[in-house]
Amino acid sequence: MSVYVCGITPYDSAHLGHAFTYVHFDVLVRYLRHLGAEVVHAQNITDVDDDILRVSRERGVDFQELARREVASYERAMRALRVAPPNHSPRATEFVPHMVEEVEALLDAGHAYERTGTVYFSVATDPGYGRLSGVGRDEMLKLAAERGGHPEDPHKGDALDFVLWQAWQPGEPWWESPWGRGRPGWHIECSTMSRRLLGQPVDVHGGGSDLIFPHHESELAQAEGVPGPRPFVRHWVHTGTVYMAGEKMSKSLGNLAFVDDVIQRHHPLRLREFILRRHYRQDWGFDEGELAEPFSQPGRGPDDRDDFYRALDEDLDTPEALRVLDRAALAGDSKGKALWEEGRALLGLDP
C-alpha cells in the first residue's frame, strides 16, 4: 500500500495544526501495518516555494540553510510525539528534472501554455477541474487568492490557471529548463514526487483540509492530464482544521501554538493522546488549559477487543477507540488491563 502525505514547507516551527495532521496519519499507517499491509509512506518536504523564499529574504538566510534548520526542528518535534519517520522524505529540490519532464508532458498533452518563461496549467482544458473540492468558480477564485494562486496575474488565460514552472526572478534559486531558468510550481512538486516514488494510483494521498483547494485539486488535474494509469489517487484523506481563539491557527494571524512550546509544559505523549481524542476529520479549537484536565470520565460498561478495533475500522475513530480503552481500564480485571495495554501500544501511547 502506498501513502503520500503532503509535508511541511520548512520556514517556521511545527505548530498544533501540523501535529494534528501528522499524528493522525501516523496512526493510520500504524493501523494499516497492524492489519498486515506493507505500507510505503512518503512525506515530502517543500524546500523551494514562494513562502520559504519570502522568509529567507526577510531573514537574510539562505533558503537551504533555513530549510535544513527547520527540518531538523520539525523532526525533533515529531520524534517527541512518537510520529514514525516516513519511508521516504523527498525534498522538492531533489526532483526538479522530473518536474520539468512532467511539465513538458502537460505541454505535449495540450494542458499547458508558456508566457515569458512561466508555464501555466490551463484549467479550461480540464472540464473536471473542481471535482475534488466540489466548490464553485467564485469560491475557487477566493481560495486561490488567499492561498498564493495569484488569480490577478495578467499573463494567465484564465484567473484559475496555475503555475507549473515559474520563470526566474532576481534573488531566487533557479534550475535550467526548456523555458529558461526558473523553478517548479508548488502543485507539480507534489504530484511529481508522488508519481515518481509511489507510482499511480497511490492508495492514500492526504494532508490538512486547507490543501484540498487549490493544492490537491491541481495535483489531480496535473497527474490525470498526462497519459498513464487512472486514477491518480484511490483515497483522499484530509484532516480537520485547528483553531485557536476562534480563528484558524495560521502564521498570518499570529495565533500559533508551537509544538516545542507546548511540550515544554506538558508531556509529549499527553499531547499525542489529546490529539487522538479528536477525530481526524474534526475541526476543533485548541485550548492549552484542557491539556491539564482529565481527558474523560467514562461510564462503566462492558467492552471488548472487537469494540476497539471496530472503532478504528469505522473511519479511524480514535476518540471512540480511546473511550473503549478507558472503560476497559475501569473494569479493573486482567482482560481489561490486557486490552488497555494492547490498544495504547497500537496508538503509540504506551509508556
Minimal CA–CA distance to 347: which of 276, 284, 296, 259? 276
The dihedrals phi and psi of 287, each to the nearest 5 degrees, come to: -130, 110
Residues 86-125 binding Zn ion (CB under 5 A) are none
CB of 233 to Zn ion, least distance (A): 12
CB of 151 to Zn ion, least distance (A): 20
CB of 208 to Zn ion, least distance (A): 10
Minimal CA–CA distance to 321: which of 332, 342, 301, 307? 307
CB of 186 to Zn ion, least distance (A): 7
Query: Both ends of the chain: CA-CA distance in Å?
Result: 29
Tell me whether residue 50 or residue 342 sits nearer to Zn ion (CB atom): 50
Specify the stretch interacting with Zn ion by CB under 5 A; choose among 3-11, 83-91, 225-233, 279-287. 3-11
Tell me whether residue 6 or residue 223 sits nearer to Zn ion (CB atom): 6
Q: Which residues pair with 204 in a beta bridge?
A: 3, 235
Tell me whether residue 174 or residue 236 sits nearer to Zn ion (CB atom): 236
How many of the chain's residues bind Zn ion (CB under 5 A)?
2
* Residue bearing cell 495565533: 255
Tell me whether residue 204 or residue 325 sits nearer to Zn ion (CB atom): 204
CB of 169 to Zn ion, least distance (A): 23
| By CB under 5 A, residue 6 contacts Zn ion | yes
Alpha-carbon gap, residue 294 to 343, rounded angstroms: 19
Tell me whether residue 107 or residue 190 sits nearer to Zn ion (CB atom): 190
Helix locations, the chain, DSSP H: 16-34, 50-59, 63-80, 96-108, 137-146, 186-198, 217-223, 259-265, 268-276, 305-313, 318-331, 334-346
**Type of residue numbered 12:** D
CB of 190 to Zn ion, least distance (A): 3
Residues 171-190 binding Zn ion (CB under 5 A) are 190
CB of 88 to Zn ion, least distance (A): 14
Tell me whether residue 149 or residue 336 sits nearer to Zn ion (CB atom): 149
Residues 186-215 binding Zn ion (CB under 5 A) are 190
- The phi-psi region of residue 14 (left if phi > 0; otherwise alpha if psi is between -120 and 50; otherwise beta) is beta
Cell numbers found for residue 11: 520556514
Tell me whether residue 16 or residue 92 sits nearer to Zn ion (CB atom): 92
Which residues of this protein are in contact with Zn ion, per CB under 5 A?
Answer: 6, 190
